[in-house]
Amino acid sequence: MFKIEQDKQGTLLLSGRFDASREESAMKCFNLVEKSTEIDCSQLEYISSAGIGVLIATQKRLMQNNQQLILKNLNPHIVEIFKYAGLDAVFTIK
């Protein structure tokens, strides 16, 4: 189960498991993001390179207009995976 929801402040809430089977539907959702947006990962249990690819592609697109994704509330295991992938260098992680 993987879900993307948006709260009233515009924060995107990711929950569940972001694996390769969710890449296509998630990309459609992230393609709608046009300005700097916080991504609340407190309920994100798992992410693979497919999910990371969606975040990187979105970040690349947004940064062309000086906008960005801001990742927050990641669990420690996912922070570690992000560091292995070098995402700590290209995302603001709160």
Partner 1 sequence: MNERAFKRSLNSLEALFDFLNEFLTGHGIAGKSALELQLALEEVFANSVEHNNASAGDITVALEKTENAITLRIRDFDVEDFDVSKPPDVNTRAPLRERRAGGLGLHLIHTIMDQVGYAHENRISTITLVKYLK
Residues making contact with partner 1 (CB under 8 A): 17, 19-21, 46, 48-50, 52-53, 56-57, 59-60, 63, 77, 80-81, 84-86, 89-90
Judged by beta carbon, residue 6 or residue 65, the one nearer partner 1 is 65
Residue among 6 and 21 whose Cβ is closer to partner 1: 21
Cβ burial 20-34 (10 Å sphere, 16+ → b, else e): eebbeebeeebeebe
Q: CB within 8 A of 11, min separation 6: which ones?
A: 37, 38, 39, 40
Q: CB of 7: closest distance to partner 1 in angstroms? A: 26
The least distance separating partner 1 from the CB of residue 68, rounded to whole angstroms, comes to: 10
